[in-house]
């Protein structure tokens, strides 16, 4: 699979200076981690889940979570498990290319049980999403994954969700973060990414952000994101991929504030129509939040609606200017440091301070591609929506 693989090759050729790479569920962890992109959640109880998975992959989704936790009622767990067993068996018979598939469980015991019940079709499974993760609660989950991997010989990844009250509350945050850092480092080879459960953070204080506000406008949430990235998202080799929070809105409702999506990138052709459509579906706030995610050290995003996937991926493509800067900074002859003017002659690139940024940018370029010099996110959105 590859990002924008649902777009015909000739159209991709016109969009990309460097094409997104191909990857599979057996690719190196560093590639898979960077390539998660917009991870689409779906309740495990959906009766046509196999059809949904195939349909979404054909539309550009490369990672999905089949959820047995908060997205379903407590009384539906057993039915959800039974449905997953049936749907994985169905998917195995289809012979279709699939996205990376993860199951969000509630308890550690579900991990070996589900893998055993799914049987040979478990080869389609990339791992598990672990809820309410702390060092104490997370250890049994990670041990269950390690044991199941050893028993089956199938590589399985973990994606812990950071959403517990201990992490939220100021008096226990530092200790909780230190504990999480210790346990995920111990199981580093199995932890693909850390996911932020911002909805649970808001719930603890009776908050819910409107579609006119990003997670960063809710100061208590912004503070938690800052601390998580500070401890767990460092670029010195000790950090992990930390993914952006979910965007909850996908239907039109009355707006209180001026749209945040400026007109200038949308002036030509169908672009103004696209701008109007994005605003009407409350996606202008999503676009702003995606930009703020990256500015604050987050990669990819949790999504609960298919309409959110393409904006996340379009804004993950590396611009030609970013690519040029990153390449200049990482040239071997620049190993001694120094300052140079960018090829676009609009900024100074400091080799040593910007090296980690450049390395991360080229990693993103590998999986999401590099846009042509005259291509921006509007063209990428328009091309993706046309398919």
Residue numbering of the annotated binding site for Mg(2+): 200
Separation CA 174–CA 312 (nearest Å): 31
Separation CA 310–CA 159 (nearest Å): 22
Q: Which residues are annotated as a binding site?
A: 200
Separation CA 115–CA 66 (nearest Å): 14
Separation CA 129–CA 42 (nearest Å): 13
CA atoms within 13 A on the CB side of 208: 3
- Name residues whose C-beta falls within 8 Å of residue 375's C-beta, 6 or more positions apart in sequence: 14, 15, 16, 320
3-state secondary structure labels for all residues of 210-251:
CCCCCHHHCHHHHHHHHHHHHHHCCCCCCCCCEEEEEECCCC
Separation CA 68–CA 106 (nearest Å): 7
Q: What are the contacts of 280-283 at 24+ separation with CB within 8 A?
A: 280/252, 281/250, 281/251, 281/252, 281/307, 282/211, 282/249, 282/250, 282/251, 282/252, 282/253, 282/255, 283/307, 283/308, 283/311
């Amino acid at each position: 699979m590859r990002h924008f693989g649902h777009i015909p090759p000739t159209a991709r050729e016109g969009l990309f200076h460097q094409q997104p790479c191909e990857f599979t569920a057996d690719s190196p962890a560093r590639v898979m981690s960077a390539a998660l992109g917009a991870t689409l959640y779906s309740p495990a109880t959906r009766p046509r889940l196999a059809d949904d998975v195939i349909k979404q992959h054909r539309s550009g989704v490369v990672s999905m979570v089949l959820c047995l936790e908060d997205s379903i009622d407590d009384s539906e767990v057993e039915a959800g498990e039974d449905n997953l067993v049936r749907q994985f068996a169905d998917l195995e018979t289809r012979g279709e290319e699939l996205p990376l598939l993860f199951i969000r469980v509630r308890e550690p015991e579900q991990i070996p049980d589900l893998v055993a019940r799914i049987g040979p079709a478990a080869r389609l499974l990339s791992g598990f999403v672990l809820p309410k993760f702390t060092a104490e609660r997370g250890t049994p989950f990670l041990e269950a994954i390690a044991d199941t991997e050893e028993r089956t010989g199938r590589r399985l990844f973990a994606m812990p969700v950071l959403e517990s009250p201990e992490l939220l509350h100021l008096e226990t945050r530092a200790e909780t973060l230190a504990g999480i850092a210790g346990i995920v480092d111990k199981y580093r080879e199995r932890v693909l990414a850390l996911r932020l459960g911002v909805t649970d953070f808001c719930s603890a204080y009776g908050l819910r952000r409107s579609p006119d506000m990003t997670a960063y406008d809710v100061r208590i949430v912004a503070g938690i994101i800052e601390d998580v990235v500070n401890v767990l998202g460092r670029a010195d080799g000790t950090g992990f991929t930390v993914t952006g929070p979910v965007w909850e809105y996908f239907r039109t409702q009355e707006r209180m504030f001026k749209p945040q999506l400026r007109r200038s990138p949308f002036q030509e052709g169908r672009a103004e129509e696209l701008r109007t459509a994005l605003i009407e579906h409350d996606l202008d706030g999503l676009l702003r939040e995606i930009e703020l995610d990256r500015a604050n050290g987050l990669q990819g995003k949790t999504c609960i609606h298919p309409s959110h996937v393409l904006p996340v991926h379009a804004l993950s493509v590396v611009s030609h200017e970013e690519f040029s800067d990153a390449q200049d900074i990482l040239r071997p002859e620049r190993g001694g440091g120094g300052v140079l003017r960018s090829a676009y002659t609009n900024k100074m690139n400091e080799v040593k301070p910007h090296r980690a940024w450049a390395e991360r940018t080229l990693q993103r370029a590998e999986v999401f591609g590099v846009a042509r010099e005259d291509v921006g996110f509007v063209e990428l959105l328009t091309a993706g929506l046309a398919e």
